Structure 1
Amino acid sequence: MDPSGYKKYTTSRGLTYNYYAAKASPGKPTLVFVHGWPSSSWDWRKQVAFFQPKGYGLIVPDMLGYSGTDKPTDPKLYVGSALAQDVMNIMDNEGVGKAVLVGHDWGSKIVSRINFHPDRVLAVAFLVVGYIAPSPDVDTEGFFAFIRETFGRDLYGYWRWFAEDGADKTMEKNFDALYSLIFPEPPTLWREVVAPVGGVKAWVEGNKQGPPPKYLTPDVKEHYKQSLLSGGLAAPLCYYRVQMQGLNTEDDKLVPQDAYDIKVPCFLGYAAEDYCSIPELVIPQTKPHVKGPFTVKEFASDHWITHSHSPQLNARCWSEALAL
């Protein structure tokens, strides 16, 4: 991504974001790409390379806590409604009234909070993690219990350690071990190590390491290492702390009941080899809330669709689902 395409902007909350932007050609919509953990705007570089030459507008932020954006460590600043408002502020700064919003991982949580801004959205897309409806009556422990009862195992056991004090320092010290779990080879490491409570902590503290997947090149690892370690992991881990502390549950109480459903075209791309965000959970949590056109596609991928399957994603999916 061309560094000259980046801008700085301070939102109404006083937080400065770094984001990539390109103006739309006449008749073309603007696409807003929202990354998750532990990524940055750079993760969408293949989408930028695909859509920008075709005249689409682009807004691709480094989300709060990452890369060139501010990195506060107060979890209260990471509630869903506030992050969604930051994105709307950036759209305002670019003069964009309505856009297509695309989220991956925790980015899907932020895109889900279009509940607060339905008049700003042309269409939505969720990658790997689906739509996350407001859950003002279900706390995190209740969610974990539901997962175990429904699927017979933990899916998000790693959240507990990610929210612990000091986890960031251990991750920074043993970054190569963490990286080998972020990008698992084989993908079943997520089922065996990441999903169970205590698995990631034991792996990283023991400095265990594994080979990278074939789709990853050395420059990807170097980017992640430089981007994350330069700013530290305390801020990115706030996406887990805000969840474990129940702050998002409280935040969800602000969503109007009549705004729970998605009334614009929706695309869901799930990963057949992601053993945490499994399709048996992702599809049912999304489908009942989609009241407009809905397209679901499976990818023979682990969690990182944008790294491993961008050609298929770009060429096959977007136009049919989102009328691009």
Structure 2
Amino acid sequence: MFETQNYEVTKGINYEYVYMKRNDDSKPTLLFLHGFPSSFYCWRHQINYFSKQGYGCLAPNLMGYGKTYSPLDEHEYKAKSMVQHLISLPDHLNLTKVIVLGHDWGVRPATRFVLYHPERTLGLILFNVGYEPPAKRDVEKVLQFTRETFGYELFGYWEFINSDDAAKIFEENADGALDIWYSSDPTLWKTDLAPLGRLREWMTKKKRTNRASYLTDKDYEIVRQVITEGVQSKLNWYKSFIVNIDWDDEKDLDPTIKRPVLYVAGTKDYILVPQFFANQKQHIPNLETIELNTSHWTMEEKPEDVNQIVEKWIEKIV
């Protein structure tokens, strides 16, 4: 495990993070933003590799995770606020510009970091989740669209996550939750996770399956600790998004990403399917897309491939 530090980014709001200072001035610092149900630990292979190559590596636990500020009020989970928190970390560490990497829910603050503060970034790397420009979203319409387009609701499980008893059910059946989230069979997401009602059924019937081989016993224990501690704070990422918490802040934002972007998609990710983000290129003048034969946890499934792809792309843009 990495040695963590803590910093009060603003009064009463603390962030836990890992920081490896660069030892080669020609190489940038990478800001790693994780998703659900994860932590900075999901970037372990990248942090180990890039720190050894001389890059700086900064990986915070985002709101709701670890020892970072974890409010129970979903209205505190605004992307604009999180970006201000995240800007405070490079300020504290005397870093002027970073390359931002986001995975899963980490893509939300990663893209907004670049929208709000392009001058503090050199580039943006998105894993599995593509760029979604500011918009007011109707979840029912999204579910209908994905059902008609892909044959099932890609985000039907949000209904369960948004329910009052979801956190308790997660905490009581952590092993079953992690089985489906890190399944060795990615197609289970099409049948037992994504469609409406299926995740609740999986959890309440305490179903189990084989976990993916890339997750060692040690990895699993760390991830399991994440999902059994303060689950409601983590689910607030979904709840805040469902109620369009960012719309008032973002409705007048220029949606164009003014930095180079690398989008790494997983062809066996059956929820965040690459086709769902096909339109992102209209808002990203400088976009490179690479597809890997992975499910959702691309950086953990194929770390060597990811590290080579990322390093090659960084060398092109810096």
Q: TM-score range by the shorter chain?
A: over 0.9
In structure 2, distance between residues paired with 1:185 and 1:319 = 29
User: In the alignment, is residue 291 of structure 1 matched against residue 253 of structure 2?
Assistant: no
User: In the alignment, is residue 175 of structure 1 matched against residue 169 of structure 2?
Assistant: no
In structure 2, distance between residues paired with 1:222 and 1:117 = 36
Q: 1:128 to 1:13 in 2, by over 3 A?
A: farther
Per the normalisation by structure 2, the TM-score is 0.94
Q: Which residue of 2 aligns with 1:166?
A: 165
Deviations 1:285-318 (A, max 9, x none): 42111112x2211111110112111110002343
Alignment of 1:126-275 (within 5 A): 126-136=126-136, 138-229=137-228, 231-253=229-251, 255-256=252-253, 259-275=254-270
Q: Which residue of 2 aligns with 1:119?
A: 119
In structure 2, distance between residues paired with 1:67 and 1:285 = 35
Task: Kindly state the Cα deviation for residue 249 of structure 1 after the two structures are TM-superposed.
Answer: 3.3
Counterpart residue type for residue 7 of structure 1: Q
Identity %: 30
In structure 1, distance between residues paired with 2:301 and 2:75 = 34
Please say if residues 76 and 242 of structure 1, whose CA atoms lie closer than 8 Å, have aligned partners that are also in contact.
yes
Task: Kindly state the Cα deviation for residue 320 of structure 1 after the two structures are TM-superposed.
Answer: 2.6
**Secondary structure at 1:69 match in 2:** coil
Task: Kindly state the Cα deviation for residue 143 of structure 1 after the two structures are TM-superposed.
Answer: 2.8
Task: Kindly state the Cα deviation for residue 18 of structure 1 after the two structures are TM-superposed.
Answer: 0.2
**Secondary structure at 2:126 match in 1:** strand
Q: 1:303 to 1:62 in 2, by over 3 A?
A: same
In structure 1, distance between residues paired with 2:35 and 2:279 = 19
In structure 2, distance between residues paired with 1:78 and 1:319 = 34
In structure 1, distance between residues paired with 2:58 and 2:310 = 20
Task: Kindly state the Cα deviation for residue 13 of structure 1 after the two structures are TM-superposed.
Answer: 5.8
Q: Report the more deviating stretch, 44-53 or 149-158.
A: 149-158
Deviations 1:100-138 (A, max 9, x none): 0000000011111121111111000000001121114x3
Please say if residues 170 and 177 of structure 2, whose CA atoms lie closer than 8 Å, have aligned partners that are also in contact.
yes
Counterpart residue type for residue 93 of structure 1: H
Task: Kindly state the Cα deviation for residue 28 of structure 1 after the two structures are TM-superposed.
Answer: 1.6
In structure 1, distance between residues paired with 2:172 and 2:231 = 11
Alignment of 1:20-39 (within 5 A): 20-24=18-22, 25-39=24-38
The root-mean-square deviation of aligned C-alpha atoms, in Å, is: 1.6
Q: Which runs of 5+ in 1 are unaligned?
A: none
Per the normalisation by structure 1, the TM-score is 0.92
In structure 2, distance between residues paired with 1:91 and 1:149 = 44
Counterpart residue type for residue 278 of structure 1: V
Q: Which runs of 5+ in 2 are unaligned?
A: none
Deviations 1:47-88 (A, max 9, x none): 111111121111100111011212111111112111122111
In structure 1, distance between residues paired with 2:259 and 2:63 = 26
Please say if residues 108 and 132 of structure 1, whose CA atoms lie closer than 8 Å, have aligned partners that are also in contact.
no
Please say if residues 183 and 212 of structure 2, whose CA atoms lie closer than 8 Å, have aligned partners that are also in contact.
yes
Q: Which residue of 2 aligns with 1:42?
A: 41
Please say if residues 174 and 227 of structure 2, whose CA atoms lie closer than 8 Å, have aligned partners that are also in contact.
no
